[in-house]
Amino acid sequence: KLKARGAAWKLRAELIALEGSLEEVEAYAKKRVTEEGGDTTKKPGVRLGRVIDGLRTISITDTQRRITDLEKTLDAAIKHDEDQPRSEALLEPFWDLVEGDGSGLIKPEYRTVIAIGLEDYAKVSCGKGEDVVVALSDGTTMTGAEFINAAMEGSLGDKLYVGLFHPTAGPVNLYEARFASDKLRTLAMAENLVCPWPDCNVPADRCQVHHIDAHKHGGHTKPSNLTMLCKYHNGVNNDDPDGQRNKRRPGKPKRGKPNRGRMRRHRGKVRLQTPGGKLVGNTHHVSSMGAMNLI
C-alpha cells in the first residue's frame, strides 16, 4: 500500500496505460509498489495477536530454511484425514514439538529436488559458486555455499541423480508405466519446483504427479507428459479437453465441475491453457528456476 498522497492514483493511471497480460501487469505493479516504498521488508520475529472469541494467533517470521524445516517436521507427524484442513492437522504436531513430546526438528535430507544447471554445478563443485542461487522443490532457494555445506553434512544423501532435459521436448523419456516411478517423479519435480498453475505456491514436495494428457485418453506415463500439480489444481484441471468426455455419450450436455482450463506443454514448458485458449505460466520466483529454465 502506498502511503504518499496521490501516489496510489498516480500508479493506477500508470498501470491502466500499460500494455500486456494480466499476469504481466500484476508483476509490474508489485515491482513498482516496492520501488515506491509501499512494501516494507519483513523482519524475523514472533508476533502474538489479541484474544478473539477465546482464540489467539501466533505468527513466526524467520529464514525460509528454518520455517521450511519446521513445516516438514509438522507434516511428517500429521495423522492424515482427507476431510481435515491442513491448518488444523498441523496444530497438534506443533504443540507436541513445543511441549517436548516430539522428536525435535527433522534434519533436512534433500530427497527434495535441487535444480541446478550443469554450468552452475561445475562452478559450485570448484568452489566458485558464491553467486549461484538454486531452487528446491520445497519452494525455497539456497546459495552455492549452502549447497556445498549441505553436501558436506551428508544432507544430500549418498546418491546423485542427473536429469536430462531437451530444450523443446522437455524431460527425456525413461520408460512407461501406469503410475509414475520415483525417477519420473524426480524429473517432474526438477522441472517444476512448485505447482505450475498460475499464482499457486505449493512446493513440488507436496504435489501430486499429473498426466498432462490424461491416461484414460491414451496419455503415456513418460517425462514429457508428466508434471507436478497440487492436490487442488490436480482436481480442477480439465482432463477432458475438446469434449472427449462427451464422445462416449453423444448428445448429452456436459455436467460436473466448471472448466478451469488444463495444463499443456508448450515449447518444452508446462503452462495453463485457459478456457479461452491463452497459455499462462506461474510467476512464483522459484517456478522460474526449474530445470527447463536452466538450459
In a domain, 106, yes or no: no
Side chain identity, residue 158: D
pLDDT in tens, the chain (295 residues): 666 677 788 888 888 888 888 878 888 888 888 777 766 677 899 998 888 988 899 999 998 888 888 888 888 888 777 778 888 888 888 888 888 765 666 565 555 677 777 788 777 766 666 678 888 777 888 887 777 667 656 666 655 565 666 677 777 643 333 445 677 888 899 899 999 999 999 999 889 889 898 877 877 777 888 899 998 999 899 988 765 444 444 444 445 567 889 999 998 899 999 988 899 999 888 888 888 888 8
- Counting Cα atoms < 13 Å in the Cβ hemisphere of 190 gives 26
> Do residues 137 and 190 make contact, with C-beta atoms less than 8 angstroms apart?
yes
Domain count for the chain: 3
29 plus 55 within the same structural domain: no
Sign of CA dihedral 279, 218, 161, 67: positive
Helix (H, G, I), strand (E, B) or coil at 7: helix
How far apart are alpha carbons 113 and 137 in whole angstroms? 5
Residues 165 and 284 in one domain: yes
The answer on 71 and 124 residing in a single domain is no
Q: Are residues 134 and 276 in the same domain?
A: yes
Same domain, 18 and 135: no
Q: Which range of residues forms the domain containing residue 2?
A: 1-41
Yes or no: say if 167 and 182 are a contact pair by the CB < 8 Å rule: no
Query: Do 212 and 120 belong together in one domain?
Result: yes
CA–CA gap between residue 193 and residue 113 (Å, rounded): 8
Extract the runs of DSSP E, i.e. beta strands, from 145-258.
165-166, 170-171, 208-211, 226-229
Task: Kindly state whether residues 27 and 63 are assigned to the same domain.
Answer: no
pTM of this structure: 0.53
Burial class (CB in 10 A: 0-12, 13-18, 19+), 288: middle
> Residue 125 CA to chain centroid, in angstroms?
27
Name 46's bridge partners.
Answer: 60
How far is it, in rounded angstroms, from Cα 26 to Cα 8?
A: 15
